[in-house]
Amino acid sequence: MLLWWLAGCIGAIDQPMDPSNTNPVVFEVPKGSSAGGLGPALMDAGLIPDELTWKLYLKRDKAGGCLKAGNFELSPAMTMAELMETMCKAPIADEVQVTFVEGWRMREIDAELSRLGLIEAGTYWAAAKDPGRFTLPAGLEGLTSLEGLLLPESYSVPADGVDVEVLIQRQIDLLDSRFVQPNQAAIDASGRSLYELLIVASMLEREEPRPSNRPVVAGVMWKRLDNQWNLGIDATSRYTLADWNDRKAFLRQLRDPADVYNTRLRGGLPPTPIGNASIESLNAALSPEGSEYWYYLHDSEGNLHPGRSLAEHNALKRKYNVY
């Protein structure tokens, strides 16, 4: 009876666990591991039926001597021979997660990658200032910078160093797949260019901390633009500062009519986005909420207070001590 059962096991050795499931599983082979000792972990990962069958396969095919340590992409659709063959090849590079905060500029992304030791300082920023090296969504030709196209998100990157061009293209492609392509019809019908939407979204990201309020604020921004009112958004005057929170430098910028990002003293949109916006801000820029408001401010707790007139706006300033 035992011999019959063993013969059945051996005959089924080359059958994958699930031929239809090609989803990759990152499987770690620790240093010093033996092929036979991997049985429990392979079983837990859903890659083999049981330890005994794995050991029978190794014995039958005299496999396992070429095993390498590291991480490997395996799948339930692989036979045991394919699993072993993959674990005898070069492992995939170790990866780490990096998170880029909503609203960050290219320079902050560069600084974070440099801080983590993943790039030489300045290399990401230099690449992002050369859009001709990348494939962009339609309608974004002729840019001088990729500011606003670098979708903030958590990305897995090689632990031993980042290829900045590969990472930047991933960010652009993610913006395209998550926002541009799903909303192409709405973008075309909006009467706004894609780049205008990116600029407004970048201002929303800095101006309104609560995503639920952003459609109202977007409505105020577009309303002022459409009526040739200056936007009067202070965040735009911070864009070119080395330190976003440098108050003295910021106050100088506010008084500088030559600053092309000064939306207090100059009409229209700033020439580029002032950072990289979240999907929530992008959606708000595309789908603004109409209202009777022309102004807005925030109190010390970040609560939004819109105003219908300059008199009401000034009264709200006094009430909340915002100047």
* Residue 96, φ and ψ in degrees, nearest 5: -130, 160
Nearest to 202 by CA among 116, 284, 133, 85: 284
Cα–Cα distances in angstroms (integers) from residue 254 to residues 218, 247, 260, 264, 292, in the given order: 22, 10, 11, 7, 27
In contact, 208 and 158? CB cutoff 8 Å: no
The Cα 88–Cα 249 span in angstroms is 58
Q: Where in the chain is the domain with CATH 3.30.1490.480?
A: 7-87
pLDDT of residue 5: 47
CATH of 7-87, one of 2.120.10.30, 3.30.1490.480, 3.50.50.60, 3.40.50.720: 3.30.1490.480
pLDDT of residue 3: 41
pLDDT of residue 131: 96
pLDDT in tens, 197-237: 999 999 999 999 999 999 999 999 999 999 999 999 999 99
Contacts 24+ apart (CB under 8 A), 34-37: 34/64, 34/67, 35/63, 35/64, 35/65, 35/67, 35/84, 35/87, 36/64
pLDDT of residue 7: 45
CA of residue 82 relative to chain centroid, distance:
34
Which stretches of the chain drop beneath a pLDDT of 50?
Answer: 1-7
Nearest to 321 by CA among 302, 300, 304: 300
